[in-house]
Amino acid sequence: MSRLPGFALTFLSVLLTSLPAMAGQLVNWNFNASQNRLTFYTDSRVQPTAQLIPNPTRIVVDLPGTTLRGPTVRQAGGGRVREIRIGEPDSFTTRVVIELDAGYTVDPQQVKVRGITPTQWVVELPTPELAPASNNNAPGPNPDGSSLPTQNLSAANPPSTGQQYLQVTGNGLFVRLDKNGDNSGIRIQPNARQSTVNFELNGAVLPESLVGQSLPVGQYGVEEIKFSDNPNNPRLSLALADSGGGWNAYYSRVGGGVVLLPKQISRSGGANPAPGSAAVPVSNNTSNSSPSSSGNRSPNDRLVSQASNRNLANITAIEVTRDDSQLIIRGDRQINARGNFNRLTGNYEIRLDRAQLSPQFQSPELATGGPLYQLNISQETNDSVLILVRPNTGRRFGRLFRSGGSLYALELISDTTASRPTGNLPANNPPRGNSGDQISIAVQPPPANATPSFPPEWSNPPAGNLPSVPRGGRLVVVDPGHGGKDPGAIGIRGVQEKDVVLAVSQYLQRYLEQQGVRVLMTRTGDYFISLQGRTDMANRAGADLFVSIHANSMGMGRPDVNGFEIYYHGNAGLSQAIHRNVVNSLNVRDRRVRQARFYVLRNSRMPSTLVEMGFVTGNEDNYKLTDPNFQQQMAQAIARGVLEYLQQR
């Protein structure tokens, strides 16, 4: 179970009746892998919309007018569900993505999105099945418009250290990061003499497994990729087989990493083009020059030129009209085209029979925000050309028709119902099937007489006699330590630190909010946040206090070591206030207030503390730390210390 922050029930009743236009929040969600069912709650009425995006298959549920406080959530699914992601595509929408394992799909007509009440919804998936084989293995766009990474690994070739963070996609490379930077901070430095391209990712953070690593690639003319020794503001270097063409880079918000895209178009002269060949992807950093000008031709260009057949029509150019209304295919003589939409891959496929790519072929320059997301062109066989077209968000395809003997045109229609797939699709809209990037899923509204409901865990713990501060005037960041791939300390009975600290942090959040304090959680579920990510979050928010919650360990050989201790760096006042309240109200051994140079203490710009509630390896503390009553008492004592300190400031 993952729980996300919300408001007190007394305030909710006011919100639901008097302020329906205000943005609500996603407050709770749970995925049941055995039933392929996702249940989620919001703190105000919501009308979701849902789509299926293919290759890989993702069920995307948008909650218009609903926000998510805190970072994007990523959690492993189970069964044939690879991952659950929750994020914000814009400031007024929360997006839930259910991604299936590679190669699996579901019938969108069998996916059920239904309302139990106006604030409780379920998404039910049928049993995923293997998707039919497809010649195109290029992944579709992520819900945020970025390329979603795929990776083919066999049991005989498991990933090496750091290899799981590098993935080859259908149009480039994807590197997962612990923290994205800003696209304006990306610096690309090609070095043709050394056949390398360097990427400086200012503001980003590398995963520890990639620091100082060199990983083989073997695609897109890249022999290997090297990562700098500095995890902060990292530098990536591509070692190319030759000087190659240019490269672009941008951050994927949902993917959580950086996308590296080759600008140059490559063409296959044989019947079996390499995966991702002839990809012309859209990038956030577009070039002012065509990626396939005749003056910058690849070795495959020469192959096409040598294999030229005078009996075939030469495809000389593909263009997008100035008004973005048509994709034009030009030949040097009459050409014949066949087109169909592939619902599995999301591509519109155009085959040109008795045709070949001209050695002087000119491809369009695709601009960010233009009508096309991706264009793939290849010499499918010796006498046929294959064009795969994927539209950008807000576009769909119309007719494919002859426009003169040597021209063919594909209509690019501005789809007002698709221009905001996060909120404007009718709940009962049937699967469209003619839009290249999504298939609508029907949404069943709750019964007309249903009243808002909340999860059983929603009720707030008793506040007791806690101090108050002016409502909304102070912001405290509560930091549940570890999470996701980092379990923290593991103690007796397999108790994991990341679980107990999240439970106590959630109680602490509610105690503080009851007394008028605004709370920002660094994580609200079981997922990983880097140390820098935690302090960056607090510093950017301008928090008044930073409280990091942890549990201790002395190793399984020392169950006799138990007790509460608390750390500070600089000002000890906050730690002393919390320590005094904990040892005076709970039956714990006192291990005193201590000074330390922990990262989160040194790098937070506000008074901060790191609480070690007890030892998961201790024969006394272990059972206390998993007791909900003790967790509430610990959270209440910490809250009292925080509130007393705030009253003095």
Point out which residues pair with 81 in neighbouring strands.
78, 100
Spot the catalytic one: 88, 380, 497, 612: 612
How many other CB atoms are found less than 10 A from the CB of residue 311?
7
How distant, in Å, are the alpha carbons of 434, 437, 547 from that of 256?
30, 21, 26
Backbone torsions φ then ψ of 636, nearest 5 degrees: -65, -40
Q: What stretches of 166-313 show up as alpha helix (H) in DSSP? A: 299-306
- Alpha carbon distance 245, 296 (integer Å): 8
Distance CA 495, CA 469 (A): 35
Contacts of 120 (CB under 8 A, 6+ apart): 39, 40, 41, 446, 452, 453, 454
The answer to whether the Cα torsion of 17, 23, 28, 32 is positive or negative is positive
Q: Is 458 helix (H, G, I), strand (E, B) or coil?
A: helix
Q: Determine contact, residues 641/476, Cβ cutoff 8 Å.
A: no
CA 263 – CA 282 distance, rounded (Å): 9
- The DSSP annotation for 543-577 comes to -SEEEEEEEE---TT-TT---EEEEESS--HHHHH
Whether 411 is a known active-site residue: answer: no
Question: CB 633: neighbour CB atoms within 10 A?
Answer: 21
Can you tell me the distance from the alpha carbon of 70 to that of 623, in angstroms, rounded to the nearest whole number?
A: 30
- Work out whether strand 475-480 and strand 545-552 pair parallel, antiparallel, or are unpaired: parallel
Rounded to 5 degrees, what are φ and ψ at 447? -55, 150
Distances from the Cα of 31 to the Cαs of 1, 244, 262, 425, in angstroms? 8, 46, 38, 25
**H or E element, residue 106:** none
Which active-site residues does the annotation give?
612
